[in-house]
Amino acid sequence: MRRTARARSEAVPDRAEARARMVETHLVARGLRDAAVLEAMGAVPREAFLPADLAAAAYGDGPLPIGAGQTISQPYIVALMIEALALRPGDRVLEVGAGCGYAAAVLARMGAQVFAVKRHAALCEAAGARLAALGFGSVHLRVGDGQAGWPEAAPFDAILVSAAGPDVPRALKDQLRDGGHLVIPVGPPGGQTLLRLTRRGPDRFERTDLGPVSFVPLLRGVGPVEAG
């Protein structure tokens, strides 16, 4: 499946030069070094995950709106969070706050088994169709309460949370395997910190501060069906 995803992602109308510049200017120049992350970021067409009128802005290093009050994170933050997961091919990854599906596509490109949860039904449906069209049909995607995770698919080797809460949900900690990494923004608007938690036993988690960030809030429950 990884080979199919690679071939189809490269068949999308090509902005390879813009992606290469983005990798060098916004990722490598800022200290990111994981070769698998850089390759995936340079291959997945970010413009395909945006409204058509924003495609020209796809490779600037900033967040962009995707509808329903949600955003696609800036490329540097996506790459930073995924690099912090320290993934290996075949790892099982839970993504909470799947948005438009871009980070899930990057993870799948790296060979991860991706389980992505999104609370907004319309955005989730659109992300699923987009991922399938690009050849990432192996991504498991569902509408659900991200704070509850995906217990029947646990344990996960890594968990990526693309929305901020006041603390780390207990359910997500419980679904992380021993030695696995959980990356999540924590804190109030205007004062969030990106954290990496590494599980070191049943109730022990090692914390690493990855710097200040700004994310939409992590909400409970399942949202209504929105246009977009």
73 catalytic residue (yes or no): yes
Q: Are strands 113-118 and 140-143 parallel, antiparallel or unpaired?
A: parallel
- Choice among 9, 73, 162, 214 that is catalytic: 73
Q: Would you list the DSSP string of the chain?
A: -HHHHHHHHHHSS--HHHHHHHIIIIIGGGT---HHHHHHHHHS-GGGGS-GGGGGGTTSSS-EEEETTEEEPPHHHHHHHHHHT---TT-EEEEES-TTSHHHHHHHHTT-EEEEEES-HHHHHHHHHHHHHTT-TT-EEEES-GGG--GGG--EEEEEE-SBBSS--HHHHHTEEEEEEEEEEESSTT-EEEEEEEE-STT-EEEEEEEEE---B--SS-------
Q: Which residues are catalytic?
A: 73
